[in-house]
Structure 1
Amino acid sequence: MELYDSEEQQVEAIKDWWKENGKAVIFGAVIGLGGLFGWRYYQDSVLQGQEAASEAYTSVITSLQTQGADAEASIQTFIDANKGSEYSVLAALQLAKVQVEANNLDEALAQLEWAKANSKDDALKAVTSYRIARIQAEQQNYDGAIAELELIKDPSWAGRIAELRGDISLRKGDEAAAYAAYTEAQQAEDASQTLQMKLDDLAK
């Protein structure tokens, strides 16, 4: 570091340094503050967008609950307008549920396939795959249903997966495979209360 003989020399050195570097310092400060305020604005915008999507989701789901299939057009509009958001995936799941209740299985399956393809959440993907498998089993696409169940890797689904495999085996007329699957399902943490009844029916 250069040594200065007097305060005057230090002042002159600072002035010279500022002449050479002052513009760069100011520019850097402006960029830094601009970036900070820009980031905050971006965060505020994202938060406002999320809040708006949340309110719109609540509104369309309320309509779906009160109007059923009659609200299908409005919820589809919401889904189309919010692609890229998990709210659209949740809405598709709810719409598929209503479509299943109305026995529109092909439409429900299409909604669930879309939801699975567009969700970034592993938990939602597991829910979606399970519901797809149930519809496929209902449509007697048993191989497709089993393949879909194999996509679910979360161990917390083990009981439900084994039970549905048992249901599928029973529909195919394979009582031995059904009994084995139900017995396996009973050992899982998420075992349903209906399993014993199903096992009892097979034992008769």
Structure 2
Amino acid sequence: MDGNITEEQQVEQIKAWWKENGKAIVLGAVIGLGGLAGWRYYQAEVQSAKEQASDAYTQVINRLESGSDSAVADVQAFIAAHESSQYSVLAALQLAKAQVANGDLDAAAEQLSWAIGNTKDEAILPVAQTRLARIYAEQQSFDQALAELDKVTAQSWQAKVSELRGDVLLQKGDTVAAREAYVAAQQLAGASPALQIKLDDLAQ
């Protein structure tokens, strides 16, 4: 402001400026506060939904483990209701495990395939892929099992994958390739002590 104007003139200039800009400032503040409140509400709703999904997951898995007659249907309903949540993928893994125990390999393979197609979680994906490969091998679909193992890219799983590849090749009757897979697995971090036993068995 001009230093030569009186205090009264300064007050009048402030009033004029506020009259021109005040509404915009107030509106901006209201929008800003409203946006903050909306964002906090959204976060609270997301957290609440996660907690509800977690509780529901625990309940259906407990029923599955208890052997309840409606457990399979309950888990399937949970998966359908929470398709966008990783809890649905975890539920599919647990359901597949129960189906394998009951000898229903086709249903288990279907659940694992669904889980693989609905997660990008690097902690979950290799679990589902290797389990599916084991099911294919059990069904004598050895090429499918090997193809599934080829999809596992997580470095921390490569020793397990190579060993499992050897198991599948051995089941297939290809002892030479199985031995190569076991030897390759031995060279990787996290190799199983059982590999040497498997190699010794092949040498007999």
For the aligned pair, the TM-score class normalised by the smaller chain equals: over 0.9
Residue 3 of structure 1 is matched in structure 2 by 2
Secondary structure (helix, strand or coil) at the match of 2:26 reads helix
User: Unpaired runs of 5+ in structure 2?
Assistant: none
Return the alpha-carbon distance in structure 2 between the equivalents of residues 184 and 65 of structure 1.
Answer: 37
Note if 1:137 corresponds to 2:137: yes
Superimposed CA distance per residue, residues 3-36 of structure 1 (whole angstroms, 9 cap, x where no aligned partner): 2412222211111111111111111111000000
Please give the per-residue CA displacement for 1:119-169, whole angstroms capped at 9, x wherever unaligned: 131221121111111111111222221121111111111111111111121
How big is the alpha-carbon RMSD for the aligned residues of Structure 1 and Structure 2?
A: 1.5
More off after superposition, 62-71 vs 4-13: 62-71
| Residues 144-197 of structure 1 deviation map (CA, whole Å, 9 limit, x = unaligned) | 211211111111111111111111211221111111111221222222232222
| Residue in 1 that maps onto 2:102 | 102
The gaps in structure 1 that reach 5 residues or longer are: none
**Normalised by the size of structure 2, how large is the TM-score?**
0.94
1:158 matched to 2:180: no
1:102-132 alpha-carbon deviations (Å, 9 max, x no partner): 1111111111111111113122112111111
Aligned residues: 203
Tell whether 2:122 aligns with 1:87: no
Extract structure 1 runs of 4+ deviating beyond 3 A: none
Q: Secondary structure at the match of 2:67?
A: helix
Q: Percent identity?
A: 56
Matches within 5 A, 1:1-204: 2-4=1-3, 5-67=5-67, 70-204=70-204
CA distance in 2, matches of 1:18, 1:157: 66
The TM-score normalised by the length of structure 1 is 0.94
TM-fit CA distance, 1:69: 7.0
Does the CA contact (< 8 Å) of 1:133 and 1:149 recur in 2? yes
